[in-house]
Amino acid sequence: MRTIKYLFQKGNSIASVPDELYGSFVEHLGRAVYSGIYEPGHPKADKNGFREDVASMIKELGISTVRYPGGNFVSGYNWRDGIGPKAERPVRLDYAWLSKETNQFGNDEFYTWCQKYDLSPMVAVNLGTGTPQDAGYFIEYCNFPGGTTLSDLRKSHGRAEPYNFKLWCLGNEMDGPWQTCHLEAQEYVRKAHETAKIMRWVDPDIKLVGCGSATTLLPTYPEWDRIVLEGLYDDIDFLSCHHYFENSTGKTEDFLGSYVLMENFIHTIESTADFVKAKLRSKKDMMISFDEWNIWSIEGEPWMNYFADPSHRFTEKPPLLEQSYTLLDALVFGGLMCTLINHCDRVRMASLAQLVNVIAPIFTKEGGPAIAQTIFYPFKMVSEYGRGEALRFFADVPCIETVHGQTRTLHSSAVYNEERGEIAFFVLNLGKESARIELKTEGFGDKEELVSHTILSGPDLLVRNTFETPNAVMSRDSALTEAEVKCLVTDVPALSFNRYVVKVN
């Protein structure tokens, strides 16, 4: 068997991996909020109604930022509905998900939840039905110290100190025809520009994310991105990328090669941003917020037909987008995480969409337990050790032909953590054979030992975690032989996602 050699050299790095790469997303959608993160009366809920069992799983994942309150939901949402005394809050129709919104959880609760669990808020303003003035009022309520009607209103709700939300999205997927009050690119530019002006007048320290294309499938992609970048280059700090992946051909190797689609997408957006930078004679590099990504089998999921039954329309916390993930999904997911790390010089934030119940790593039963879906494990494997410098390396990896063209059978990323003196190497083997690899290091120190191997794999790629079998799929530590420890040569099993840790000093 041929040995594939990887050489990691100190200083040969892509960029530092930002904590914000390990962000997620909670939308008012289905059971993400109600009976997801928030369920008053649940045996594991705290006095605020926050589910502690869910919170401890979020901690285990190492989640950094949480995007809120949408998603499509935000484009019809009035932020005033979710503040102040709960008994006075209105019950509304949510147009995005044809649901009934009770507003018992809103901006005030989101802030408390983030504070309690040490999560960084990333808040979206409504640029669908909302106006630039509404966005200005919203940030005044949240971030202005006091002495105005809205900042004093926050104080009257028991919040003397401002929330100081620093990350803001200028709307959501405004290019999508499905969006409430969808906009053409130039219309979005005009509205987002005026909104950004007002928001920065109220708080000059914020970071703003402009809407990039909602999907590569829209005919406006990537022209939308060019127009938005040209119009908003000086207004925004990040352009958003959204991309979901599914097994569209039904072939395992095509699906496992989804990382190629993500790479291509990032390349296109980076190139478009760099074209605009040159055209505008700007000195600034536009960063990317990949703030919606995941596996989402949009076709064939039961939620598509959910509203065919008229009695399901406008009900509370409907069971929408409750995808049950397979081991295969989790392997694909691991490959996508490698791609995010390999592009972290430009992708400076990412949000796994979503966090609980809705296309999510955590799944709950109302009044019952919370379980880890299969995709929980690759996220945890990477987020635990993927902090430090992302390393650049070359390896001569064999390819197979997939729907994406020539596709590397090993897809990997590496992160050096100086404090721990460790290099974590993450690798997806999408081939049907195991692959022999050798990990070589240069310039890190005298020591060089392979100290651990964590693997996600199994005989049945279609197995899922359920309430009956919650641990059917889990990552596990695999023993290393003395020769593997010393020589750093090992075999990566077929169809597996792996984390190897090399001690270097």
Catalytic residue annotation:
173, 292
| Beta carbon nearer to ligand AHR, 96 or 256 | 96
Among 342, 354, 357, 407, binds ligand AHR (CB under 6 A): 354
Show the 3-state SS of 117-131: HCCEEEEEECCCCCC
Residues 6 or more apart in contact with residue 17 via CB below 8 angstroms: 341, 344, 386, 387, 388, 389, 390, 415
Q: With respect to ligand AHR, which residue has the nearer C-beta, 24 or 412?
A: 24
Distance CA 129, CA 181 (A): 6
Residue 72 Cβ vs ligand AHR, minimum distance, rounded to whole Å: 4
> In terms of Cα–Cα distance, which of 69, 97, 72, 94 is closest to 83?
69
Nearer Cβ to ligand AHR (71/378)? 71
Distance CA 106, CA 81 (A): 7
Using CB atoms within 10 Å of the CB of residue 177, give its burial: 0 to 12 exposed, 13 to 18 middle, 19+ buried.
Answer: exposed
Rounded-to-integer distance, Cα 271 and Cα 220, Å: 16
CB of 479 to ligand AHR, least distance (A): 39
Residue position matching structure tokens 């914000």: 20
By the rule CB under 6 A, 383 interacts with ligand AHR:
no
Instruction: Give the nearest distance from C-beta 294 to ligand AHR in angstroms.
Output: 8
CB of 85 to ligand AHR, least distance (A): 28
The residue number with the shortest CB distance to ligand AHR is 71
- Residue closer to ligand AHR, measured from CB, 292 or 422: 292
Q: Is 353 in the site for ligand AHR (CB under 6 A)?
A: yes
Q: Does 240 bind ligand AHR (CB under 6 A)?
A: no
Angle formed by the axes of helices 107-117 and 132-143, to 10°? 40
State in angstroms the smallest separation of the CB of 144 from ligand AHR.
28
- Minimum distance, C-beta of residue 107 to ligand AHR, in the bound complex (Å): 18
Query: Of 233 and 296, which CB lies nearer to ligand AHR in the complex structure?
Result: 296
All residues at 6 or more sequence positions from 185 whose CB lies less than 8 Å from its CB, including other chains: 175, 220, 223, 224, 227, 228, 231
Residue 336 CA to residue 374 CA, distance in Å, equals 15
Among 20, 134, 173, 263, binds ligand AHR (CB under 6 A): 173
Q: What is the DSSP letter of 263?
A: H
Number of residues that bind ligand AHR (CB under 6 A): 10
**Considering the complex, what minimum distance in angstroms separates the CB of residue 402 from ligand AHR?**
26
**Comparison of 241 and 427: residue with beta carbon closer to ligand AHR:** 241
Cβ proximity to ligand AHR, 96 vs 381, nearer residue? 96
Q: Does 172 bind ligand AHR (CB under 6 A)?
A: yes
How is residue 222 written in tokens? 């990537």
Single-letter residue type at 221: Y
Rounded to the nearest angstrom, the gap between the alpha carbon of residue 167 and the centroid of all alpha carbons in its chain is 15
Binding track over 204-233 against ligand AHR, x by CB under 6 A: ----------x-------------------
CB nearer to ligand AHR: give 27 or 101: 27
- State in angstroms the smallest separation of the CB of 189 from ligand AHR: 19
Instruction: Calculate ∠ Cα 162-93-121, nearest 5°.
Output: 25
CA-based torsion, 27, 32, 37, 41: positive or negative? positive
Chain positions 19 to 38 lying near ligand AHR, rule: CB under 6 A, are: 27
Q: In the range 60-89, which residues lie near ligand AHR by CB under 6 A?
A: 70-72
By beta-carbon proximity to ligand AHR, the closer residue of 218 and 400 is 218
CA dihedral 224, 226, 232, 237 (to 10 degrees): 100
Encode 43-64: b = buried (16+ Cβ within 10 Å), e = exposed. Answer: ebbeeebbbebbbebbebbbbb
Cβ–Cβ < 8 Å for 132, 191: yes
Q: What does the block give as tokens for 451?
A: 């100290």
The pattern of x and - marking residues 287 through 316 that bind ligand AHR according to CB under 6 A reads: -----x------------------------
CB-count exposure of residue 440 (10 Å: 0-12, 13-18, 19+):
middle
| Smallest distance, ligand AHR to C-beta of residue 253, A | 26
Indicate whether 94 belongs to the interface with ligand AHR (CB under 6 A). no
Binding positions for ligand AHR, rule: CB under 6 A: 27, 70-72, 172-173, 214, 292, 353-354
